[in-house]
Amino acid sequence: MTSSSPTSTPLKPKVTAHPLSPSPSPPSRGLVDKHDADFEKVLTFIAETEENVALEDRSLIDFDIVFQPTTSPHLSVLVEHRDAEWYLAHNALLKHAYDAEMTVRNQANAASLELRNIELDMQRARIREVVQRRTARAHQLVGLRLRARISMLESMAKMRNFG
């Protein structure tokens, strides 16, 4: 960057978020040389500042572009954290929404599991019923075969006795 005065030095601030502090953290300022300060450089500064802030805190940053008096050779970009009260309320809402979603998911999973258990019980009952019917039929057939065999043996014995 070129500068209109030899003592001015552009700054790249590192923004440290303190969202849980009782009062808003003091704003940090980044200075961009007014002679080189086009819109692209301001956007670049804002993007670099966002990169230095933890991902979960990015929504807590407001950017204000402040043009200083003409005596200053710099364009000032003000980076300011929203107040802690907003952050706490926002987090409370997010936690409430997350808890509600997890409750609904857990209830849906429990209902699904209960339904699956009922279906399995019904399948077991049907299988038990089929096994009992087939077992009864098999016993019946074995009994019929045994009676037929006994009857045939009795007939053969009578024929020998009379023959």
DSSP character string of 121-145: HHHHHHHHHHHHHHHHHHHHHHHHH
At residue 72, the pLDDT reads 47
- Which of the four pLDDT bands, split at 50, 70 and 90, describes residue 18? very low
pTM for the whole thing?
0.35
pLDDT in tens, 42-86: 666 666 665 665 555 555 555 554 444 444 444 444 445 555 666
Spans of all domains in the chain:
30-57+74-161
